[in-house]
Amino acid sequence: RGWIMTNLCTSVWVPDPDAVWISAQLLHDYNPGEKHLLLQLSDGTVRFHPVVSPSDLPPLGNPDILEGENDLTALSFLHEPAVLHNLRIRFLDYSSIYTYCGIVLVAINPYDQLPIYGEEVIDAYSGQDMADMEPHIFSVAEEAYRTMTREEKNQSIIISGESGSGKTVSAKFTMRYFAVVGGAAQQTSVEERVLASNPIMEAIGNAKTTRNDNSSRFGKYIEIGFGRKGNIIGANMRTYLLEKSRVVFQASAERNYHIFYQLCASRDFPEMRSLKLAAPENFRYTSQGGEMQIPGTDDLSDLERTRNAFTILGVQSDQQMELFRILAAILHLGNVNIQASGRNSDRSYIDADDGSLAVFSKLLGVEGPQMAHWLCHRRLTVGGEMLVKPVSGQQAVEARDALAKHIYGQLFTWTVQTLNSALRSQRGKPTSFIGVLDIYGFETFDRNSFEQFCINYANEKLQQQFNRHVFHLEQEEYVREELEWSRIEFSDNQQCISLIEGQLGLLDLLDEECRMPKGSDESWVRKLYDQHVSSKPHPHFRKPRMSNSAFIVLHFADMVQYECDSFLDKNRDTVFEELINILKASQSELVAELFQQQVNPSVANGSLRSGKRAHREHKLTVGFQVSDLSIVKILTLYSPHNNLDERVTLNFIRTVQGLLKDRTDSPPPQLLMDVRRVFPVTFPSSPPPLPHADQLDIPDALKISFLRKV
Ligand X SMILES: *[C@@H]1O[C@H](CO)[C@@H](O)[C@H](O)[C@H]1NC(C)=O
Ligand Y SMILES: Nc1ncnc2c1ncn2[C@@H]1O[C@H](COP(=O)(O)OP(=O)(O)OP(=O)(O)O)[C@@H](O)[C@H]1O
The answer to whether residue 126 forms part of the interface with ligand Y (CB under 6 A) is no
The answer to whether residue 168 forms part of the interface with Mg ion (CB under 5 A) is yes
The answer to whether residue 294 forms part of the interface with ligand X (CB under 6 A) is yes
Q: Which of 102, 289, 441, 623 is catalytic?
A: 441
In the region spanning residues 301 to 320, those forming contacts with ligand X, defined by CB under 6 A, are 302
Q: Would you say 182 is a known binding-site residue?
A: no
User: What does 166 interact with, of ligand X, Mg ion, ligand Y, none (CB < 5 to 8 A by kind)?
Assistant: ligand Y
Q: Which of 10, 99, 163, 465 binds ligand Y (CB under 6 A)?
A: 163
In the complex, minimum distance from the CB of residue 165 to Mg ion, in angstroms, rounded to a whole number? 9
Q: Which of 8, 52, 65, 114 binds ligand Y (CB under 6 A)?
A: 114
Site string for ligand Y, 408-427 (x = CB under 6 A): --------------------
In the complex, minimum distance from the CB of residue 223 to ligand X, in angstroms, rounded to a whole number? 8
Question: Which CB, 13 or 457, lies closer to Mg ion?
Answer: 457
Q: How far apart are CA 359 and CA 377, in angstroms?
A: 21
Q: Which of 168, 245, 493, 655 is catalytic?
A: 168
In the region spanning residues 129 to 158, those forming contacts with ligand X, defined by CB under 6 A, are 152-154
Question: Which CB, 212 or 415, lies closer to Mg ion?
Answer: 212
Distance from chain centroid for Cα 155: 21
Question: Which CB, 216 or 574, lies closer to Mg ion?
Answer: 216
**320 and 259 in contact (C-beta within 8 Å)?**
no
Q: How far apart are CA 231 and CA 476, in angstroms?
A: 33
Question: Which CB, 298 or 484, lies closer to ligand X?
Answer: 298
Question: Which CB, 425 or 523, lies closer to ligand X?
Answer: 425
Q: Would you say 166 is a known binding-site residue?
A: yes
Stretch that binds ligand Y, among 210-218, 273-281, 446-454, 550-558 (CB under 6 A): 210-218
How many residues make contact with ligand Y (CB under 6 A)? 21
In the region spanning residues 627 to 686, those forming contacts with ligand Y, defined by CB under 6 A, are 655
Q: How far apart are CA 144 and CA 80, in angstroms?
A: 29
Sequence-distant (6+) residues with CB within 8 A of 544 are 550, 551, 552, 561
Comparing C-alpha atoms, which of 591, 593, 595 is closest to residue 576?
595
Cβ-in-10-Å burial (0-12, 13-18, 19+) of 450 comes to buried
In the complex, minimum distance from the CB of residue 674 to ligand X, in angstroms, rounded to a whole number? 21
Q: Would you say 168 is a known binding-site residue?
A: yes
The answer to whether residue 165 forms part of the interface with ligand Y (CB under 6 A) is yes
Q: Would you say 646 is a known binding-site residue?
A: no
**71 and 102 in contact (C-beta within 8 Å)?**
yes
The answer to whether residue 62 forms part of the interface with Mg ion (CB under 5 A) is no
In the region spanning residues 242 to 271, those forming contacts with ligand X, defined by CB under 6 A, are 258
Q: What is the distance between the terminal CA atoms of the chain, rounded to a whole angstrom? A: 21
**566 and 450 in contact (C-beta within 8 Å)?**
yes
Cβ-in-10-Å burial (0-12, 13-18, 19+) of 562 comes to buried
Stretch that binds ligand Y, among 6-14, 164-172, 224-232, 361-369 (CB under 6 A): 164-172
Question: Which CB, 5 or 637, lies closer to ligand X?
Answer: 637
Amino acid at 98: Y
Phi, psi of 541 (to 5 degrees): -130, 140
**209 and 601 in contact (C-beta within 8 Å)?**
no
In the complex, minimum distance from the CB of residue 199 to ligand X, in angstroms, rounded to a whole number? 7
Radius of gyration in angstroms for the set of CA atoms belonging to the chain, rounded to a whole number? 28
Where would I find the beta strands (DSSP E) of 258-337?
A: none
Q: Is 432 a catalytic residue?
A: no
In the region spanning residues 199 to 258, those forming contacts with Mg ion, defined by CB under 5 A, are 216
Query: CB neighbours (10 Å) of residue 9?
Result: 16
Q: How far apart are CA 584 and CA 593, in angstroms?
A: 7
Q: Is 143 a catalytic residue?
A: no
In the region spanning residues 635 to 694, those forming contacts with ligand X, defined by CB under 6 A, are 647
Q: Would you say 165 is a known binding-site residue?
A: yes
Q: Is 164 a catalytic residue?
A: yes
Q: Is 467 a catalytic residue?
A: no
Q: How far apart are CA 201 and CA 212, in angstroms?
A: 16
Q: Which of 90, 167, 400, 461 binds ligand Y (CB under 6 A)?
A: 167
Phi, psi of 641 (to 5 degrees): -90, 10
Q: Which of 110, 314, 519, 606 binds ligand Y (CB under 6 A)?
A: 110
Q: Would you say 209 is a known binding-site residue?
A: no
The answer to whether residue 210 forms part of the interface with ligand X (CB under 6 A) is no
Q: Is 168 a catalytic residue?
A: yes
Phi, psi of 350 (to 5 degrees): -120, 130
Question: Which CB, 23 or 239, lies closer to ligand Y?
Answer: 239
Q: How far apart are CA 230 and CA 179, in angstroms?
A: 11
Q: Would you say 161 is a known binding-site residue?
A: yes
Comparing C-alpha atoms, which of 166, 647, 143, 149 is closest to residue 157?
143
Site string for ligand X, 579-618 (x = CB under 6 A): ----------------------x--xx-------------
CB hemisphere CA count around 510 (13 angstroms): 23
Phi, psi of 503 (to 5 degrees): -65, 135
Evaluate the omega torsion of the peptide bond into residue 699 and state whether it is cis, within 30 degrees of 0. no
Angle between helices 577-584 and 393-423 (to 10 degrees): 50
In the complex, minimum distance from the CB of residue 148 to ligand X, in angstroms, rounded to a whole number? 9
Dump the DSSP string for 229-274: TS-EEEEEEEEE---GGGGT---TT--SBHHHHHHHHTTTSGGGGG
Q: Is 163 a catalytic residue?
A: yes
Q: Would you say 393 is a known binding-site residue?
A: no
Q: Which residues bind ligand Y (CB under 6 A)?
A: 109-114, 161, 163-169, 212, 214-216, 440-441, 655
Q: Which residues bind ligand X (CB under 6 A)?
A: 152-154, 202, 213-214, 258, 294, 297, 302, 430, 432-433, 601, 604-605, 647
Active-site positions read 163-164, 168, 212, 215-216, 441, 443
Annotated binding site: 161-168
